[in-house]
Amino acid sequence: MILTEHEKSILVGASGTGGDQMAMEVVAEAARMLGADRLVKIHSSHIDGCLYHGDSGALYCEKLAAQGARVKVPATTNVGALNLLKPDQCRLPATQRKMASRLMIAHGKMGCAPSWTCAPYQAGARPALGQQVAWGESNAVAFANTVLGARTNRYGDFLDIACAISARAPLYGLHKSENRHARLVLDVCELAPRLVRQDVFYPVLGALIGRIAGETVCVIDGMPQGATDDQLKALCAAAASTGAVALIHIVGVTPEAPDLDTALGGRAPESTVRITRDMVISARDTLSLTADGQIDSVALGSPHFSDAECRELLRLANGVKFKVPVYICLGRHTLAEIEDDGADKALEDLGGVLVVDTCVVVTPILPSKPGVMMTNSAKFAHYATGNTGHLPVFGTLSECVASAQAGRVVRDQTVWS
């Protein structure tokens, strides 16, 4: 390892706190294991390790905090296991609830911003083109690389907070320019223009990309201009869930992909896949694990619902109440926006259940008896059964609303015709 004098002094405990030394040890050893020969200075971090998966995470962070560790760069927090505004909404056993709370508190003590959202880029955390960052949470990583042009690998629990404390990350992978060029071309030029502009197309395409690309950096050619943050959010989340995608170049959208040749780094692609309508329909169908029929709930907001999505949900509902609970997962920043004009109360009056600081797939909030959960999120659909036991039915937001109002799956096939 080639370390700076500052990094060496922290590593041997000559400066900083015991927590600083511990964090630098973690980062340096991770770099060695990953084959990096040096560290890179980072500008921000998004911490995924605040979600409770066991006592070790809480004890680790409490030790760092007790030894004086504080983040040296702006650090946002991903979802936790509790809705801190409504602690009883989650059915965790008392001991686990206590440890989940301790884990979230420890991150606050270390100076992390209490954002508690998996969409930090919609809560003001938007690193600039080319900035080196250390983000956790797979959709946030993909969005940072793909849409913002920032540079990060997928940083997991324990390492993410260590990077924030040391303001360093291992210099490998997508931090390096030569590893950011696309090797795989996904051509969507043959798809109908009307289809590729639909909101629902983005999560479905993302789910398809994840299965095709795995962790390979790819480039999409033929996408329309003007995609919204919410559409790109859905694309990145799906690709990072069904695969390990951390960077998707979208020609004309990704800052590093003004054209196909630039995205490829001037080289010929290793392979090209022409995406057909049949492939899209097949990818859509794999997101549902049960036949159409009665549903027990609807889950929205993975990644977290935005203000615009909440408004669209209200518009589609048109004042007609839901027959099944509609769980709407959102961050505090969005809650504040919809509280301004009472949209939060309007959603609750319809039968919506607002879930803040967390989401229904990472902590027990859905009905304890497994049933059928409808969603417009490919990420929810991918993880639902394994994490909750509920069987997913995937559909458009419009279909989700109509289905919630009917208590059964309602389809509109014209979207795909």
How far apart, in whole angstroms, are the C-alpha atoms of residue 129 and residue 147?
9
Q: What is the pLDDT of residue 101?
A: 97
Q: What is the pLDDT of residue 201?
A: 98
Taking residues 300-328, report their average pLDDT: 98
Which residues have CB under 8 Å from 67's CB, separation 6+? 17, 18, 19, 22
User: Coil, helix or strand for 276?
Assistant: coil
Measured CA to CA in angstroms, residue 340 lies from 47, 228, 305, 334 at distances of 28, 23, 16, 10
- Whether residue 375 contacts residue 366, with contact meaning beta carbons closer than 8 Å, is answered with no
Between strands 39-41 and 168-170, the pairing is antiparallel
Higher pLDDT, 299 or 291: 299
The two structure tokens encoding residue 327: 């769980």
Q: What is the pLDDT of residue 359?
A: 96
Taking residues 154-171, report their average pLDDT: 97
Q: What is the pLDDT of residue 300?
A: 98
What pTM was computed for the model?
0.97
Phi, psi at 254, each rounded to 5°: -65, 130
Between strands 271-274 and 391-394, the pairing is unpaired
Q: What is the pLDDT of residue 291?
A: 87
Flag whether pLDDT at 365 surpasses 90.
yes
How far apart, in whole angstroms, are the C-alpha atoms of residue 189 and residue 139?
25
- Whether residue 193 contacts residue 280, with contact meaning beta carbons closer than 8 Å, is answered with no
The two structure tokens encoding residue 57: 């995470």
**Residue type at position 402:** A
The two structure tokens encoding residue 197: 């502009």
Flag whether pLDDT at 344 surpasses 90.
yes
Q: What is the pLDDT of residue 417?
A: 82
Q: What is the pLDDT of residue 341?
A: 97
Describe the crossing of helices 343-350 and 307-317 by its angle, rounded to 10 degrees.
50
| C-alpha closest to that of 412 among 286, 297, 280, 400 | 400
Q: What is the pLDDT of residue 348?
A: 98
% of the chain beyond a pLDDT of 90? 97
| C-alpha closest to that of 306 among 328, 334, 326, 347 | 334
- Whether residue 208 contacts residue 280, with contact meaning beta carbons closer than 8 Å, is answered with yes
Which neighbouring-strand residues pair with 374? 298, 393
What's the gap between Cα 225 and its chain centre? 23
* Helices and strands per DSSP (H, E), number in the chain: 16, 14
How far apart, in whole angstroms, are the C-alpha atoms of residue 28 and residue 231?
37
